[in-house]
């Protein structure tokens, strides 16, 4: 098989990366995709870096055995911890990662504060510190570690009192601030955008999914690796041995 007709591998700690997969499908509907969610080990965002690295590489190895032409790490947490290592080790493979979309949020900010929500691991990574330092000069940036949203999404909870109560608790220390926009620095969070908008009152919500999808297309195009056929498909897979997780994966892909 021609290399350009191989699938694109997409990985996440669980269901969150499906928010990125949706953007990939919009940007490149003709491609083939294998998505591996590691829900058996989610959440990653509260684990140590060695464990996150090992789990991420397990998914990468599983994809490489099946042959892929590119890898999208559809997880901010895994990107922050593992992207450098993976790019060095698998130098032949185009690897695209996710990072919080702080740039457009700061550039479009009209005076209020920008809140970045992510897992505690993402916020503590050097990669995020560098990003934060680059944009903190002229805009007030609040960082909100939100470890539990992943658990809500993994259970199929996208709205309701319990979720809103949790979000209200997270934003309690900032209730005097005028939060103008929120950056979703975790790929699970776009599935609870409505609840986040409601609780924070933010005018704009940003996530990195579209940017990562467009970057993937650019990279594949530059390498002459865009599919020329018209037989795209999505294979949704999960490390959790439970039909419910695959059903939920399909629901999220259609949402």
Min separation Cβ 112 and ligand DGL, Å: 25
Cα–Cα distances in Å, from 143 out to 64, 129, 156, 185, 228? 35, 11, 25, 10, 43
- Determine, following the binding rule CB under 6 A, whether residue 122 of this chain makes contact with ligand DGL: yes
| Position 144 contacts ligand DGL (CB under 6 A) | no
Between 8 and 150, CB nearer to ligand DGL: 150
22 binds ligand DGL (CB under 6 A): no
CA dihedral 80, 118, 8, 251 (to 10 degrees): 160
Place of tokens 């510190």: 129
Active site residue 109: no
Residue with smaller CB distance to ligand DGL, 7 or 16: 16
Nearest to 77 by CA among 168, 146, 133: 146
Single out the catalytic residue among 98, 101, 186, 196: 186
The answer to whether 74 and 60 have CB atoms below 8 angstroms apart is no
Closest CB to ligand DGL among 102 and 225?
102
User: Would strands 70-73 and 141-145 be described as parallel, antiparallel, or unpaired?
Assistant: unpaired
Q: Which one of 8, 9, 13, 238 is in contact with ligand DGL (CB under 6 A)? A: 13
How big is the site for ligand DGL, counted in residues (CB under 6 A)? 17
* 101: contact with ligand DGL by CB under 6 A: no
Q: Is 59 in the site for ligand DGL (CB under 6 A)?
A: no
Check residue 188 for interaction with ligand DGL (CB under 6 A). Answer: yes
Among positions 191-230, residues that touch ligand DGL (CB under 6 A) are none
**Nearer to ligand DGL among residue 7 and residue 14 (C-beta):** 14
Q: What's phi and psi for 142, nearest 5 deg?
A: -105, 135
Query: To the nearest whole angstrom, how small is the minimum distance from the Cβ of residue 26 to ligand DGL?
Result: 19
Catalytic residue among 10, 60, 63, 75: 75
Q: Known catalytic residue: 75?
A: yes
Q: Are 196 and 202 in contact (CB under 8 A)?
A: yes
Q: Which is nearer to ligand DGL, 7 or 145 (CB)?
A: 145
Give the burial string for 51-82 (b: 16+ CB within 10 Å, else e). ebbebbbebbebbeeeebbbbbbbbbbbbbbb
Q: For the residues of 176-187, what is the DSSP string, one character each?
A: TS-EEEEEE-ST
Task: Report, as residue numbers or ranges, the catalytic residues.
Answer: 75, 186
Enumerate binding residues for ligand DGL (CB under 6 A).
12-14, 16, 42-45, 75-77, 119, 122, 150, 186-188
């Amino acid at each position: 098989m021609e290399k350009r007709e191989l699938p694109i591998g997409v990985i996440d700690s669980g269901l969150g990366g499906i928010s990125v997969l949706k953007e990939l499908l919009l940007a490149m509907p003709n491609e083939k995709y294998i998505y591996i969610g590691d829900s058996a080990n989610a959440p990653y965002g509260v684990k140590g870096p060695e464990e996150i690295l090992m789990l991420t590489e397990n998914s990468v190895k599983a994809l490489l055995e099946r042959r892929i032409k590119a890898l999208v790490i559809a997880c901010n947490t895994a990107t922050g911890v593992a992207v450098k290592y993976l790019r060095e080790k698998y130098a032949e493979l185009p690897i695209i990662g996710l990072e919080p979309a702080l740039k457009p949020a700061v550039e479009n900010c009209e005076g209020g504060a920008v809140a970045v929500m992510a897992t505690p691991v993402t916020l503590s990574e050097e990669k995020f510190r560098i990003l934060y330092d680059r944009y903190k000069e002229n805009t007030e940036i609040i960082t909100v570690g939100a470890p539990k949203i992943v658990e809500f999404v993994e259970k199929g909870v996208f709205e309701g009192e319990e979720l809103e109560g949790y979000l209200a608790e997270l934003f309690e220390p900032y209730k005097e601030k005028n939060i103008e926009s929120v950056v979703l620095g975790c790929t699970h969070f776009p599935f609870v955008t409505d609840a986040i908008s409601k609780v924070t009152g933010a005018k704009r919500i940003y996530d990195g999914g579209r940017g990562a999808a467009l970057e993937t297309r650019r990279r594949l195009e530059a390498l002459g690796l865009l599919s020329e056929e018209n037989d795209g498909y999505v294979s949704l897979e999960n490390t959790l041995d439970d039909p419910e997780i695959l059903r939920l994966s399909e629901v999220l892909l259609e949402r």
